[in-house]
Structure 1
Amino acid sequence: MTVYDEKPWLGRYDPGQPAGIELEHDSALAMFRASVARGPDGDAIRYFDGRISFAELDRLTDAFAAGLAGEGFVAGERVAIFAQNVPQFVIAQIGTWKAGGIAVSANPMYRERELAELLTDSGATVLVVLQSLQRDVAAAVVGGTAVRTVITTSELDFQSRDEPAVFAGVERIDCPGTLDLVELLDRHAGTAPPPVSLGPDDVAFLTYTSGTTGPPKGAMTTHRNVVFNAQSYRDWIGIGPDDVVLGIAPLFHITGLVGHIAVSLLAGAPLVLMYRLDPALTIDTVEAEQATFTVGSITVYIALMNAPNADRAKLASLTKLYSGGAPIPPSTVEAFREVSGNYIHNIYGLTETTSPSHAVPFGAEAPVDPDSGALSVGVPIYDTIVRIIDEDGTELPAGEIGELVTEGPQVVTGYWNKPEETATALPGGALHTGDVGYMDAQGWFYIVDRKKDQINAGGYKIWPREVEDVLYEHPAVREAAVVGVPDEYRGETVKAFVSLRSQAQVTPEEVIAFCKERMAAYKYPRQLEILDEIPKTVSGKVLRRELRSR
């Protein structure tokens, strides 16, 4: 793959040579300790009216680690964190590192079977869990796993407000047989945990991903991966201690883990948490906290710009905007800029690349491919090489479509206890992403779609994203998703699902006619269903499997 010298932001990476970016810290824990030393009194976490300074976060995580040791935890064991965007997530993660352990992120939307699979696969011996999730999910499954210590906590802790809509119906719950986190921290306050040694190649956390095939796998994200991409975020965008990081991505997701927590710990910038996403509350929080940077799915930005209190004055401070995790229609970027005055920069990566492998340089605008209408996901970040290959593994030249294969210091070492899956997805350390795209002659990359999402209608290949981009141009459409469904004549045909903007009224036939005027005959949707909401994961990705099952 040609890398163009006239594009200075294009990275270089040779697996046999030292990385072009020198790691400033041996571990994510060392990264945090450096920020504590530089600015102990600065806010590390803001949670409604609660404030936790870097020095206080250091003391709390010491107490957490000492508490783990007191319960028999030893270095190398795993701590599963089953919670929303609350300060306790950050406390548990850093405290786990101080105890020499590995943090395991659990999606708070998991039900019993999914949580049991994660706990069993990771072999976690400690579970940190919100009281409501303990009652509704975890209590029924921990007995059949290696978990011997359950630490419960409330989303009402570390702040005093109870009026936000996100706390509607929330109450403190008694959880017999568990330890209360706040009580544990109080009991071990002022206690230093036993010293541990963490290096770049030690695993910092396991992040579970379904990847391209098969059951969820725990990607082994090393401290090197975390530090490298925290530095990449900081330097690529220009994030410093005067910035305020807005936590809109779920903390269990790789975007939240690196683009929120790790960036905040490295830059010494406060991280603003809001338990879970409420668009109107988020906009008010941006204004109140003067948040400057965030990264999240495009569906979050769609929700924000459609909130009743969205306006330029409230969103003015939020100038460092990035979005990834799902294709971004150019029309949505422009619609958000119309509302907020600020441009959303594209970013691309996977769990296995510890968040970004590509990004649009801050201050630049992504080009739009004139043929497909696709918005570029950017260029490879520092020290990263990306090749486009065909089905035979042959490297393709610029302009040709194939699978993206990524190499760089941010690529994980493999999957937890899954050597065969590691060998398949990461042969020689190069990640075969399962994403299909191409690079143009100037070095910009474009994602077409996932391999498995391509629609084959009578021999014609159709990428859902291309149809979705046209749907987003319709003034009544708020969100759109396209899948292939069985068809007696064509084998497979295009079906679209859309949700509408507030007060908008339109029929499926009218939207189909809109697409028919703007697309080749084989591409436009033959079926269209209007939903109140497009089903999505908590990280904002469309659940195409659920739509197909309809």
Structure 2
Amino acid sequence: MAYADRPWLTRYAEGQPHDIVPDFTDALSMFTDAAARNPDGDALRYFDGRITYRELDRLTDALAVGLRDAGFAPGDRLAMYLQNVPQFVIGLVGTWKAGGIAVSINPMNRERELELLLDDSGATALLCLEGLYADVAASVLPRTAVRTVLTTSERDFQGRDDPRAFPAGRRPDLGGMEPGGADVTDLVALLERFRGATPPPVSFDAGDTAFLTYTSGTTGPPKGAMNTHGNVVFNSQAYAAWCSLGRHDVLLGIAPLFHITGLIGHVTLAQYLAAPLVLFHRFEPALGIDVIREERPTFTVGAITVFIALMNAPNADRDALASLTTITSGGAPIPPSTVTAFHDMFGIWIHNIYGLTETTSPSHGTPIGTQGPVDPASGALSVGVPIYNTVVRILDDDGGELPPGEVGEICTSGPQVVAGYWNKPEETANGLLRDPTRPPELHTGDVGYMDAEGWFYIVDRKKDQINAGGYKVWPREVEDVLYEHEAVREAAVVGVPDEYRGETVKAFVSLKGGAGTTPDELIAFAKERMAAYKYPRQVEILDEVPKTVTGKVLRRELRGRTRD
């Protein structure tokens, strides 16, 4: 349903329009406006390092000129293989100033994955951490189109090393490396060389691609979603309006910047606001607590696993997160019991948001200041209501629209939906139906429903449904029950082969520090609270439940495990 078509929502958005009109055509204009409005304000804070918007403007000018000098042309792609460091933001804006498209790459990717993304994107330039170049990229690049390599250290742009953020080890000796035909240059040296230079002007339309973000590949090879400048501007502005954020807010960069949540909810949102973004290389719970105490951020967004980790950090206490006035969480299912436990510990409510790479981050959100309802039948916490200008339908397998309460596929249309997948017209046609009577509509692959008041609920991914002797079991429901156990820190449920039932329910859990329980106790706990076909017949206790860097459970890896 469209936000504007549901009058009851106005009480959650009093004083806000039901629809928003983008303030900018493209993301580069959004950044240059921020630099003009707040030149001496902090754009980036990185440990003891500070980069103002004026300096960030100069650094990105220098990068753009350096790229063009190396043969980078408008429309070319620069891949960024980095952690949460200032160089990511410099690379993103510098690429736009050179007329190019940025490609974000997970720093956990290894040779095969890196080569696949470089080949698919056709990137001609790579900006990466020195260690990743030495350990991974150097052996891959000779087989790619990359001609220019810019290397950088996570210790650049800061003045304080913290062993929790920076791994031990020496700075690689790049001079002795085999470049494999690519020109390898130190980023800081290049920025100094072209300092003060101004790139030729470029302009973008709203439909031009700003960056490629690759899907996780859980249903096949990763696909490059073409997030347009219009997508980026709209959802950056939507975040600001939905969360009532302004220039004087301070954003905590806790989500990975390569992921769409970090790109929009941290990087481009900060630029829309002309506000500071706090970075600390990579997430470590105790370090995160200290950074929050020191920098006093007011807003952040991250996967629920991040907030679970903060609750269990050894230096966490009720005052640790006192500066944070608004917290949103997306990217992974949120157990209602965790939201309550977080509030009990820190006095802050976590607000659910929902979206995908293909929706350029949020398509739904829980209105700030409200608590999303919990479905009494499944125990699922609502992911909220559609954000501004967004229409969401629940469709059956034949494409028919379902009424409230009926479960089907969530399909979304709005200004945040991507133009398609890079060089994949067939996948684009399959995922984005081009009904001439309707705007492009994304078929998300997520199963859920809308209740009579307009709240949306995610049941699960289609492929994750468990068929136990003909009965359908959704992992989310079992996980939410396990989260109610006082010893459980994280839970993940998958279907595993069973001779009698065909498939049965297995749970993997990690425990809170100092807590103790047994698999049999957890099975009994769930059995008391669920139908007989739903409760897990097997439970395995792990030190950590395997997850992607964005906090999504690696169910495929869990399915491949065998019980000891």
Give the match for residue 41 of structure 1: 40
The alignment status of 1:485 with 2:496, answered yes or no, reads yes
**Secondary structure at 1:128 match in 2:** strand
Aligned partners of 1:10 and 1:379 also within 8 Å: no
Q: Aligned partners of 2:295, 2:216: CA distance in 1, in Å?
A: 36
**1:495-540 deviation line (CA, Å, top 9, x unaligned):** 0000000011111001110000111100000000000000000000
**Secondary structure at 2:107 match in 1:** coil
Equivalent residues, number: 543
**1:140-195 deviation line (CA, Å, top 9, x unaligned):** 10110100001000000001111342213143212244100000000000000111
The alignment status of 1:467 with 2:467, answered yes or no, reads no
Aligned partners of 2:383 and 2:455 also within 8 Å: yes
* Matched letter for residue 303 of structure 1: A
Aligned partners of 1:10 and 1:380 also within 8 Å: no
Q: Which runs of 5+ in 1 are unaligned?
A: 12-18
Q: Aligned partners of 1:231, 1:80: CA distance in 2, in Å?
A: 25
* Matched letter for residue 68 of structure 1: L
TM-score (norm 1): 0.97
Give the match for residue 298 of structure 1: 304
**1:62 positional shift:** 0.2
Q: Aligned partners of 2:465, 2:12: CA distance in 1, in Å?
A: 29
User: Paired residue for 2:225, among 216, 219, 223?
Assistant: 219
**1:383-408 deviation line (CA, Å, top 9, x unaligned):** 00000011111100001100000000
**1:104-126 deviation line (CA, Å, top 9, x unaligned):** 00000001000000000000000
Q: Aligned partners of 1:394, 1:412: CA distance in 2, in Å?
A: 23
Q: Aligned partners of 2:173, 2:387: CA distance in 1, in Å?
A: 47
**Secondary structure at 1:221 match in 2:** strand
TM-score (norm 2): 0.95
**1:354-396 deviation line (CA, Å, top 9, x unaligned):** 0000000111110111111110000000000000011111100
**1:10 positional shift:** 9.2
User: Paired residue for 1:497, among 495, 505, 508?
Assistant: 508
User: Paired residue for 1:314, among 310, 317, 320?
Assistant: 320
Between 198-207 and 161-170, the greater mean CA deviation after superposition: 161-170
> Pairwise mapping of residues 523-538 of structure 1 onto structure 2 (< 5 A)?
523-538=534-549
**1:193-232 deviation line (CA, Å, top 9, x unaligned):** 1111112111000000046632110000000000000000
Q: Aligned partners of 1:511, 1:444: CA distance in 2, in Å?
A: 31
> Pairwise mapping of residues 325-344 of structure 1 onto structure 2 (< 5 A)?
325-344=331-350
Give the match for residue 16 of structure 1: none
Query: Identity of counterpart residues, as a percentage?
Result: 69
**1:437-462 deviation line (CA, Å, top 9, x unaligned):** 00001100000000000000001000
Give the match for residue 31 of structure 2: 32
Give the match for residue 51 of structure 1: 50
The alignment status of 1:202 with 2:208, answered yes or no, reads yes
Q: Aligned partners of 1:409, 1:211: CA distance in 2, in Å?
A: 24
Give the match for residue 69 of structure 1: 68
Q: Aligned partners of 2:11, 2:495: CA distance in 1, in Å?
A: 38
Give the match for residue 278 of structure 1: 284
Aligned partners of 2:466 and 2:504 also within 8 Å: yes
Aligned partners of 1:127 and 1:150 also within 8 Å: yes
Q: Aligned partners of 1:224, 1:9: CA distance in 2, in Å?
A: 28
> Pairwise mapping of residues 399-548 of structure 1 onto structure 2 (< 5 A)?
399-428=405-434, 429-548=440-559
**Secondary structure at 1:534 match in 2:** coil
Q: Aligned partners of 1:74, 1:10: CA distance in 2, in Å?
A: 46
Give the match for residue 78 of structure 1: 77
**Secondary structure at 1:8 match in 2:** helix
Q: Aligned partners of 1:396, 1:508: CA distance in 2, in Å?
A: 40
**1:9 positional shift:** 7.7
**1:9-66 deviation line (CA, Å, top 9, x unaligned):** 899xxxxxxx942211111110011111111000000000000000000000000000
**Secondary structure at 2:480 match in 1:** helix
Give the match for residue 186 of structure 1: 192
Q: Aligned partners of 1:536, 1:87: CA distance in 2, in Å?
A: 25
Give the match for residue 261 of structure 1: 267
**Secondary structure at 1:315 match in 2:** coil
> Pairwise mapping of residues 120-269 of structure 1 onto structure 2 (< 5 A)?
120-176=119-175, 177=179, 178-210=184-216, 213-269=219-275
**1:470-511 deviation line (CA, Å, top 9, x unaligned):** 000000000000000000000000000000000111110011
Give the match for residue 92 of structure 2: 93
Q: Aligned partners of 1:508, 1:262: CA distance in 2, in Å?
A: 45
**1:263-320 deviation line (CA, Å, top 9, x unaligned):** 0000011000010001011111111111110000000000000001111212111121
Aligned partners of 1:9 and 1:381 also within 8 Å: no
Give the match for residue 356 of structure 1: 362
* Matched letter for residue 505 of structure 2: V
Give the match for residue 345 of structure 1: 351
* Matched letter for residue 9 of structure 2: K
Q: Aligned partners of 2:469, 2:164: CA distance in 1, in Å?
A: 49
**Secondary structure at 1:420 match in 2:** helix
Aligned partners of 1:310 and 1:339 also within 8 Å: no
Q: Aligned partners of 1:355, 1:171: CA distance in 2, in Å?
A: 37
**1:127-148 deviation line (CA, Å, top 9, x unaligned):** 0000000011100101101000
**1:242-266 deviation line (CA, Å, top 9, x unaligned):** 1110001000000000000010000
Q: Aligned partners of 1:10, 1:349: CA distance in 2, in Å?
A: 20
**Secondary structure at 1:114 match in 2:** helix
**1:7 positional shift:** 1.5
Q: Runs of at least 4 residues of structure 1 off by over 4 A?
A: none
Q: Aligned partners of 2:169, 2:102: CA distance in 1, in Å?
A: 26
Aligned partners of 2:12 and 2:367 also within 8 Å: no
Give the match for residue 8 of structure 1: 10
Aligned partners of 2:372 and 2:382 also within 8 Å: yes
